[in-house]
Amino acid sequence: MTDAKPTLTTLPASAAIEDAIDAVEAAGAVIIEDFLDPGTLDGLWEDLGPALAAQADGDGRLVGEKTRILPGLVRRSAHSVAVMRQPHLLGLARHFLQRPVRAWLGEQRIEFVPTIQLGISRAIQIQPGVAPQGLHRDDTAHLRTHPGPESRVQVMVAASEFTARNGATRVIPGSHLWDDERGPREDEAVPATMRAGSALLWLGSTYHGAGANTSDAPRTGLSYAYDLGNLRQEENQYLSIPLDVVRGYPEDIQRLLGYEACPPMCGLYELADPMLLLRDGPGDPVAAPHAP
């Protein structure tokens, strides 16, 4: 054992998933270079750029003032599929979240493996002059306590270059191992500097926050998160993405959007797998008359 401080590692896109897992086990985060190919990033900009330009600046509630947030990326861009399927992101999410949970049913010991689901999808654009965001854990959304099982694996794709000057997300390496008594300090955070197309991947328990933008151009990131399937989605995908848009996506994406029950019984539709709704059409129980 050494006392060496964990550091934020940068891996090439060709890196094995296991190497990304090792880096995240140690530091709570990892940077993957060239996470998206240039064509996909161009496509995302094409689909999201105009809406982002038209979006009002934030009011400081979610992130810093003058930080522009555009939610609903899966509705707005089918290129979200490439992000959602990116092997390091999915591999990390499955590794950290899909841990078997054991329960008793009478004398039987049963094991359940939770599903994962998309919890947020948003573009975050930090305008010049924005102050640093307070360091925080994103699993606070689910009021998680620490130590405890991980509930979120998140990605921030650099849609523009991320530098220490323009507000690159800052991370405290190793902070995923802290309990809830230890607070984050600014001097412990390191910026996730990366070129456009690369991405920061981190756990819901890792302290992080947007940096200050002291440059003269906006910094734009695209953030998607996978959460445990038994938790409520921070961004309600069922309302955010109309059913006909969901139906246009492949089945693996539909499941990752939450149209899959989490064992043993969260998210049922008519007491069955919600995929039935997508496959067999509405059969809308809400419209069914069961009230006098």
Ligand X SMILES: O=C(O)CCC(=O)C(=O)O
Residues making contact with ligand X (CB under 6 A): 63, 124, 133, 138, 156, 169, 208-210, 221
Query: Which of these ranges, 116-124, 130-138, 239-247, 279-287, lies near Fe ion under the rule CB under 5 A?
Result: 130-138
d(CA 262, CA 100): 12
Query: Which of these ranges, 72-80, 132-140, 184-192, 250-258, lies near Fe ion under the rule CB under 5 A?
Result: 132-140
138 vs 260, beta carbon nearer Fe ion: 138
Phi-psi region of 223 (alpha: psi -120 to 50; beta: other; left: phi over 0): beta
Q: How far is the CB of 169 from ligand X (least distance, A)?
A: 3
**Contact between 138 and Fe ion (CB under 5 A)?**
yes
Chain-centre distance for alpha carbon 252: 17
170 vs 255, beta carbon nearer Fe ion: 170
Q: Minimal CB distance to Fe ion: which residue?
A: 138
Residue 210 interacts with which of Fe ion, ligand X, none, CB < 5 to 8 Å by class: ligand X
Query: Which of these ranges, 17-25, 79-87, 137-145, 273-281, lies near Fe ion under the rule CB under 5 A?
Result: 137-145
Query: Which of these ranges, 2-10, 25-33, 131-139, 251-259, lies near Fe ion under the rule CB under 5 A?
Result: 131-139
In the chain, count H helices and then E strands. 9, 12
Q: How far is the CB of 124 from ligand X (least distance, A)?
A: 4
Q: Identify whether the C-beta of residue 62 lies closer than 8 Å to the C-beta of residue 69.
A: yes
Radius of gyration from C-alpha coordinates of the chain: 20
The three-state secondary structure class of 38 is helix
Angle at 96 (CA atoms; ends 255, 36), nearest 5 degrees: 65
15 vs 135, beta carbon nearer Fe ion: 135
222 vs 253, beta carbon nearer Fe ion: 222
210 vs 256, beta carbon nearer Fe ion: 210
d(CA 137, CA 151): 11
Dihedral over alpha carbons 264, 223, 68, 195 (to 10 degrees): 180
Residues that bind Fe ion (CB under 5 A): 138
